[in-house]
Amino acid sequence: MNRSLYSALLYLISPLLMVYLIVRGFKSPDYRRRWGERFGIKRLQQTDLLLHCVSMGETLAAIPLITQIQAAYPNLSITVTTTSPTGSAEVLRAFAGQVQHCYLPFDLAWCSKRFVQQVAPKNCIIMETELWPNLIHYLKHSGAKVLLANARLSQKSADAYHKRPSLNLPMLQSLDAIAAQSEQAAARFIKLGVAEEKITVCGSLKFDLNVEQTRIDAAQVMRGRWQALQRPIWVAGSVHPGEFEIMLQAHQRVLQQYPTALMVLVPRHPEQFDAAVAVVKAAGMLVARRSINDEVTAQTQVVVGDTMGELLTLYAAADQAFVGGTLIENGGHNPLEPAAVGLPVFVGPHHWDFKEITALLQEEGALQIINSSDALAQVLISMFNDKQAYQIASEAGKQVMLQNRGALAKQFALVDLMLKSES
């Protein structure tokens, strides 16, 4: 398949994109709004730099990079795009009034073309591996330079790219530079046909996560408000349908050993907030919703974290964490966030999007891989029982973060080189 066929197929299925937005809109009000942005018909201003994230995780990783770019180039106009409401919320929280922000349009040729013509960036930074053939084509056609930053490429994704070389190879080869997270990712890009001299191994920006003291303080205030300073607390973060019941089964076992234990259940997507509450109630457990500040009493067994942009604070208010998307075939989410605040971390076997990071945390003793509710309950109870083992795992996570910092400086150096070449 080449780009022309790809574009034709997208046009044929374009009515399904409308259906997609309507269905998502029933579940999450945020998907009912800003449709013009999804189809590239919002009026936008020309900008010097376009930076595209995907969702909340990529946006959090990009925020320090954007901040550093702003400090070095205060007169640079920047547009930041995302594809999800959670990512959008993070952009607005961090940069409201400082950058132009919108959703990235669907990769329909006319949508991407109109978007690029309006924004007309001299340079573009795309986070991780959010590559769209039409977007890249029109960026390069307009003369923009494109840097793939914080690039990760799992073997599964590499295999998918390899199946459609006539579509993907021209796109990959048109990138001006790639800042790879790891040697493994770099090798996969090279195997796909990217010139080796375009790739620099920089490490992951996720290791440069800066947890502000204000967030730590807010987390402790939250825990105190919950009257839970002495209660064992664990977070099931970024969990998906198919994992809710598993988390509750694990918590029921934890409650047998620690009757005062509290679980904070945080669904990955806003449209699953109500479903998560319903599942907790169906299990006969007492639940409080974070979004409406339900009172958390001594009898409350589960808090549903149904808010946007608060996951890191919820981690900081807890003692241990499970990171979701890993007991179903999703690929997982970032285990460094709980590790950064000193929590022992647990994930399921399906963590391929964070394979190298997971392996590093596991090797240093900060993370364990589990495959069932029973296994999760066992490790949670074990850590609550063994304060020494808990402390070792907690410190190991913090040390992994400290020892692997530096990706921000390396990736900014590539951005700086790209921006200076325009001046």
Q: Which residues contact 106 (CB under 8 A, 6 or more apart)?
A: 10, 14, 17, 38, 39, 40
pTM for the full model? 0.85
The helix (run of H) or strand (run of E) holding residue 114 is: helix 109-119
Q: Take residue 252 and report the two structure tokens written for it.
A: 């029921």
Confidence of residue 421 (pLDDT cuts 50, 70, 90): confident
- pLDDT over threshold 60, residue 423: no
Predicted confidence at residue 271, as pLDDT, reads: 84
pLDDT tens, residue by residue, 130-179: 899 999 999 999 999 999 999 999 888 899 999 999 999 999 999 999 99
Predicted confidence at residue 344, as pLDDT, reads: 98
- Flag the least confident range among 24-28, 35-39, 375-379, 401-405: 24-28
Of 58, 243, 271, 337, catalytic: 58
Cβ-contact 239, 324 below 8 angstroms: yes
Check residues 374 and 89 and name the one with the higher pLDDT: 374
Q: Take residue 382 and report the two structure tokens written for it.
A: 């074990």
Which sign does the torsion angle of CA 170, 415, 62, 345 carry?
Answer: positive
- Mean pLDDT (the chain, rounded): 94
Question: Is 356 labeled as catalytic in the residue annotation?
Answer: no
Predicted confidence at residue 311, as pLDDT, reads: 93
pLDDT tens, residue by residue, 11-61: 898 888 888 888 877 767 777 778 888 898 889 999 999 999 988 888 988
Q: What is the mean pLDDT of residues 194-202?
A: 96
Predicted confidence at residue 184, as pLDDT, reads: 92
Confidence of residue 324 (pLDDT cuts 50, 70, 90): very high
pLDDT tens, residue by residue, 331-367: 999 999 999 999 999 999 999 989 989 999 999 999 9
Predicted confidence at residue 84, as pLDDT, reads: 86
Q: Take residue 166 and report the two structure tokens written for it.
A: 């006539």
| C-alpha angle 355-358-363 in degrees, rounded to nearest 5 | 120
Q: What does the alpha-carbon distance between residue 360 and residue 183 come to, in Å, rounded to a whole number?
A: 14
- State the burial class of residue 169 (Cβ atoms within 10 Å of its Cβ: 0-12, 13-18, 19+): middle
Q: Take residue 97 and report the two structure tokens written for it.
A: 């009034």
Predicted confidence at residue 289, as pLDDT, reads: 97
Residue that the structure tokens 């925020």 belong to: 63
Predicted confidence at residue 72, as pLDDT, reads: 97
Cβ-contact 90, 105 below 8 angstroms: no
Cα 270 to Cα 72, 255, 276: the distances in Å are: 35, 27, 10
Q: Which domains does the chain have, with CATH numbers?
A: 3-203+406-420 (3.40.50.11720), 213-403 (3.40.50.2000)
Q: Which residues contact 397 (CB under 8 A, 6 or more apart)?
A: 338, 339, 340, 342, 343, 344, 345, 361, 364, 366, 367
- Flag the least confident range among 60-64, 131-135, 229-233: 60-64
Q: Which residues contact 384 (CB under 8 A, 6 or more apart)?
A: 232, 254, 257, 258, 261, 319, 320, 390
Task: Please count the other Cβ atoms lying within 10 Å of the Cβ belonging to residue 112.
Answer: 24
Percent pLDDT > 70 in the chain is 99
